[in-house]
Amino acid sequence: MKLSAWSGDCYDLTPEEAIRTFKAHGFDYCELSDEHSAELLKRGDPITVGAEFGKFAKEIGIELLQGHLFLNARLCNDENRELLKKQLDLFRAVGVKNAVLHLDSLAWRGDSSLTVEKIREENCKALKELLDYIKGSDIVICLENLIFEDYLNSADSLMYFIERLNSKNLGVCLDTGHLNLAGGDQTEFIKKMGKYIKALHLDDNEGQKTDQHLMPFGRGNIDFVPIICEMKKLNYERLYNFEIPGERNAPLEILGYKLDYIKKVTEYLDRATEE
């Protein structure tokens, strides 16, 4: 299992300080968060800055194989897509292979005249533009299951886009916390999506109204053993990435202990799911 964590768990550190912190606690992989992407993009040309940061990461022994495209960038907005393209340029230069994306939704648009079919069509059109932009690269845009919109929160709803666009540069990111809040079945999602799962957001919550982004085996109610077991059946070899910003309200020393805990959790899950 390739242990990874979202760099935004150390969001108040610079990108360099953050990944150095993860490395100090035994991590060889990280997901580049949208906060740290934004900081890097402020430094100048995405390709130049990305290459420099990727070189730094390689020198300290961290691979940034996964990145999160901007959380608040609405895909169907023309200006937002141009921003996402710059971020994809950055990702390519850094060495990110899997770019996690939130699709646009009716709730975000706030337009009562829009229908589900219309927002799907707009998402497909906007997504195709991004896929055309990265065509020929090894980057995969990974559609993340969202929470309350039933046209975006299940395996079947994401498969609509996978089948419609039919691109080798398109996959799925399973967010366990989102699926828990949506009342979905984790193992059923994995079975349905199968080979299309290219990224993971492993996090826990109490299954109520808030995406708490907690560490496993705490207040949350997700059973991670069958999830990891099912992923192993797929021969999944990408990152087992923890997205746990609900744990980051702590001094740096305590965050370090939490990272140590996550490493132990991963070791336990690996042992508990051995055939």
Q: What is the residue-level pLDDT of the chain in tens, covering all 275 positions?
A: 999 999 999 999 999 999 999 999 999 999 999 999 999 999 999 999 999 999 999 999 999 999 999 998 899 999 999 999 999 999 999 999 999 999 998 777 777 778 999 999 999 999 999 999 999 999 999 999 999 888 999 999 999 999 999 999 999 999 999 999 999 999 999 999 999 999 999 999 999 989 999 999 999 999 999 999 999 999 999 999 999 999 999 999 999 999 999 999 999 999 999 96
pTM, rounded to two decimals = 0.96
Strand partners, 172: 143, 197
**CATH class for the domain made up of 2-272:** alpha beta
Round to whole Å and give the CA distance between 260 and 7.
15
- Rounded to whole angstroms, the Cα distance separating 203 from 213 reads 5
Long-range contacts formed by 56-61: CB under 8 A, 24+ apart: 56/16, 57/19, 57/30, 57/94, 57/95, 58/95, 60/19, 60/20, 60/23, 61/23, 61/28
